[in-house]
Amino acid sequence: MKVSRTCPACGYTADYSSAALADAHYPRHSCAKHRRGLEQARRRTERLQARVTRECTHPEARHAHGTRAAYVKDRCRCTRCTAANTAAGRIVTRERMYGRWQPYIDADPVREHIAALRAVGIGVERIAALAGLSVSHTRELAESGRGNSRGTRRVRPSTATRVLSIGINEASRAPHSRVDATGTRRRLQALIAIGWPAELLANVLGRRPNSLHRSMTGESVTARTAHDVATLYERLWNCRPPRMTGEQRAAADAAQAHAAAQGWPTPLAWDDIDTDPTPPAVTASPFRQHEMDEIAIERAVAGDISYNDLTAVEQQEVVRRLTARGSSIRDIAARLGTTKRTVSRRRASFGAA
């Protein structure tokens, strides 16, 4: 059972496990020490209440409360910003004790990477946006150098990591910047060569056919267009166009006929569709309805595409191969997504029961 004692002079209160302990220890407390503790707590509370909260007024940075940046840059003295600054100071002290304190590193690798990015058309503003830095700071990094008295010669490791993580590729370009149209043009031509109509591709990309035609005939396209076409190409290069209706089959056949007349290669004809110096040789002959696509036949045999996605000769060849493997009419119809009567007619055309 706990026993409490309270000093009538200073208000000091303590709990003890027994009356004997209370009688022994309570008289030893110091009223002066207790009053000093109360005074320190009162002053601490007043300081916390007097802290000024300042909102960030910087046009680009927009420092958030609860960070050391807000404490230093905005001079905010709210409880959260003060705690963040104190925590940062403790980290610095600990790292110095362990000999691991390295607040800055050489800016030369960062400057060289920015120069490489700018050489391929990625501007300073785009670099700043990707790295999460201000444009002015990024420009200082770009202009700094060994023989330059101006600019930044050292950077924080976190800044270097963010800049060096920006890849030198098309994805890093600004959406409206201009890039070479060769890869975009070749990808669209290859998709048309396997039967994807240009109107259907334009619809999937959310564009008008005239706009898609300009992308296929111009010397440059926007980075966003190049990215969208590349993404679409990766999705469709090994897929057959829809052939469910007569209109769809006619559109696919017309696209293949146009591509054959123009000599446009199919996707599999390219080694590297972006960097090959010249297109592979393609005989510019009229499209023949009775040609067979071996890839389409293999995919149909595996059950990846349906009966209606094939041409007439491909349909017959698929049925023949499945029949040769011992598949029944019911199994072939289920695999190709068609009727048993259709399969039976195909089997009768080449003399199979």
pLDDT tens-digit profile of 282-335? Answer: 554 444 445 677 877 888 888 888 887 777 788 888 999 999 998 999 999 999
- Look at residues 197, 204, 195, 207 and name the one whose alpha carbon lies nearest to residue 309: 195
Q: Which residues pair with 154 in a beta bridge?
A: 106
Q: Which residues pair with 155 in a beta bridge?
A: 105
Report whether pLDDT(133) > 80. yes
Q: With contact defined as beta carbons under 8 Å apart, do 141 and 95 qualify?
A: no
* Mean of pLDDT over the chain: 85
User: Averaged over 44-59, what is the pLDDT?
Assistant: 80
Helix and strand element counts for the chain (H, E): 17, 6
Residue pLDDT, tens place only, 62-88: 788 899 989 998 889 888 999 999 999
Pairing of strands 13-16, 3-6: antiparallel
Residue pLDDT, tens place only, 20-50: 998 888 888 899 999 999 999 988 888 777 7
Q: What is the pLDDT of residue 124?
A: 87
User: Averaged over 148-175, what is the pLDDT?
Assistant: 80
Residue pLDDT, tens place only, 203-245: 999 999 898 999 898 888 888 898 899 999 999 998 888 887 7
Q: With contact defined as beta carbons under 8 Å apart, do 2 and 17 qualify?
A: yes
Backbone dihedral angles phi then psi of residue 96, each to the nearest 5 degrees: -65, -40
Q: What is the pLDDT of residue 144?
A: 60
Which tokens is 70 given? 């807000």
d(C-alpha 225, C-alpha 175), whole Å: 8
Q: What is the pLDDT of residue 287?
A: 44
Q: With contact defined as beta carbons under 8 Å apart, do 179 and 226 qualify?
A: yes
Q: What is the pLDDT of residue 291?
A: 60
Q: With contact defined as beta carbons under 8 Å apart, do 204 and 196 qualify?
A: no
Domain limits, the chain: 3-49, 105-172, 179-269, 294-349
Q: With contact defined as beta carbons under 8 Å apart, do 58 and 73 qualify?
A: yes
User: Averaged over 164-189, what is the pLDDT?
Assistant: 84
d(C-alpha 314, C-alpha 213), whole Å: 31
d(C-alpha 322, C-alpha 264), whole Å: 33
User: Averaged over 257-268, what is the pLDDT?
Assistant: 88
Q: Which of the following CATH numbers is that of domain 294-349: 1.10.287, 1.10.3470, 1.10.10, 1.10.4160?
A: 1.10.10
Report whether pLDDT(92) > 80. yes
Going by pLDDT thresholds of 50, 70 and 90, the confidence category of residue 150 is low
